[in-house]
């Protein structure tokens, strides 16, 4: 064999819980509306002086406390985030310094809610090509820093969190990546975005306020249609069926999107792992948060087939079908 395996996982969410009842005090909304439309009950919010790098460090510490994994020989770091404390230095470079990793490459990946799965796809290719032997992959976002808490159509959705995994080259076990898939529809870029600089995307005027702006209905329609078709295409192209999926881990944008995807694809609800009920939409962290909860509870077992499917701003999708 000449393959790549996931050998460790860790996660972190801030202590501060923001409930639907608290949001009722901040904007005109109700717990009932939020739960019915999104399935979200609570989110975690970073402290004022707690940033994405802090969430990442804590997720990695959590991983180190649970797995006998060495970081000193990591030779590449990939951090997927849309909320870096600084655009440069990258969050990946901050991780290199924090954990005193001697020699390694480090990049941040910008693919919004598809960032974590896109990074697994990248890491797997770098490992299989023989360029690197051990890669630290992180998905992390402090969405509260870019959320407009006066906009009731978006502020009910987002939360903060981070997840980290280690992927290693191996020659004695079957690989973890069974199939992968990625595609982008940049013409829909203006449907959900964060802008501080340019006042247009192509010819479309946008707000330059440093906060998330979205057309919720369009994002909903795009996600349900494209992710459902994407799942069917990924499986068919590699001669798998829905029955080969032990666990489906979609990006936890909101429960209604996930339910519509389940209805269209026939994936059973009881095989689906989500994190939005407790943590809201945590963007690049939502998939590792849902996965790690199930790993810690012993629900996901070694040898299980997992379909991780990220989708979001771009508009972009990245899916990986992996064996745990």
Residues engaged in binding ligand ACO (CB under 6 A): 29, 33, 37-38, 113, 152-153, 156-157, 192, 214, 216-217, 219-220, 223, 251, 253-254, 256-257, 281, 311-313
Among the listed residues 104, 113, 155, 176, the single catalytic one is 113
Beta strand 192-194 with 212-214 is antiparallel
Q: Chain centroid to CA 272: how far?
A: 15
Shortest separation between residue 125's beta carbon and ligand ACO, angstroms: 24
Shortest separation between residue 24's beta carbon and ligand ACO, angstroms: 9
SS (H, E, C) 195-222: CCCCCEECCEECCCCCCEEECHHHHHHH
Cβ partners under 8 Å of residue 122, min gap 6: 78, 109
Q: Is 238 a catalytic residue?
A: no
Among the listed residues 20, 124, 254, 281, the single catalytic one is 281
Shortest separation between residue 157's beta carbon and ligand ACO, angstroms: 5
- Considering the complex, state which of residue 156 and residue 245 has its C-beta at the smaller distance from ligand ACO: 156
On whether the CB atoms of residues 278 and 42 are closer than 8 A, the answer is: yes
- Considering the complex, state which of residue 189 and residue 216 has its C-beta at the smaller distance from ligand ACO: 216
Write phi, then psi, for 191 (nearest 5 degrees): -75, -25
Distances (CA, A) of 122 to 17, 164, 184, 296: 33, 15, 16, 26
Give dist(CA 43, CA 58) in Å, integer.
17
Shortest separation between residue 155's beta carbon and ligand ACO, angstroms: 8
- Considering the complex, state which of residue 74 and residue 113 has its C-beta at the smaller distance from ligand ACO: 113
Q: Is 254 a catalytic residue?
A: no
Q: Is 190 a catalytic residue?
A: no
- Considering the complex, state which of residue 142 and residue 257 has its C-beta at the smaller distance from ligand ACO: 257
Active site residues: 113, 251, 281
């Amino acid at each position: 064999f000449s393959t790549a395996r996931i050998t460790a996982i860790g996660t972190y969410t801030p202590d501060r819980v923001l409930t639907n009842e608290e949001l009722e005090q901040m904007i005109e909304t109700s717990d009932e509306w939020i739960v019915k439309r999104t399935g979200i009950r609570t989110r975690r919010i970073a402290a004022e002086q707690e940033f994405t790098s802090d969430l990442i460090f804590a997720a990695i510490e959590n991983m180190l406390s649970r797995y006998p994994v060495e970081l000193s020989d990591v030779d590449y770091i990939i951090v997927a985030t849309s909320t870096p404390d600084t655009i440069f230095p990258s969050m990946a470079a901050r991780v290199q310094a924090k954990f005193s990793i001697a020699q390694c490459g480090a990049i941040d990946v910008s693919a919004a809610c598809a960032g974590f799965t896109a990074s697994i796809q990248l890491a797997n290719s770098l490992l299989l090509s023989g360029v690197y032997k051990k890669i630290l992959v992180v998905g992390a976002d402090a969405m509260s820093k870019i959320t407009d808490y006066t906009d009731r159509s978006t502020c009910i959705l987002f939360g903060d969190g981070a997840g980290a995994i280690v992927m290693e080259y191996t020659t004695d076990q079957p690989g973890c990546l069974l199939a992968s898939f990625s595609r982008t529809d940049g013409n829909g870029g203006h449907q959900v975005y964060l802008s501080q600089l340019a006042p247009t995307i192509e010819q479309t005027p946008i707000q330059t306020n440093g906060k998330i702006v979205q057309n919720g209905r369009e994002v909903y329609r795009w996600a349900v249609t494209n992710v459902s078709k994407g799942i069917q295409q990924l499986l068919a192209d590699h001669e798998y069926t829905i029955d080969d999926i032990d666990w489906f881990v979609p990006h936890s944008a909101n429960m209604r999107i996930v339910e519509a995807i389940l209805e269209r694809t026939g994936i059973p609800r009881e095989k689906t792992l989500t994190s939005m009920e407790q943590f809201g939409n945590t963007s690049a962290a939502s998939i590792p948060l849902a996965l790690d909860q199930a790993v810690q509870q012993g629900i996901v077992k070694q040898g299980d087939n997992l379909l991780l499917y990220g989708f979001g701003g771009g508009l972009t999708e990245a899916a990986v079908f992996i064996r745990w």
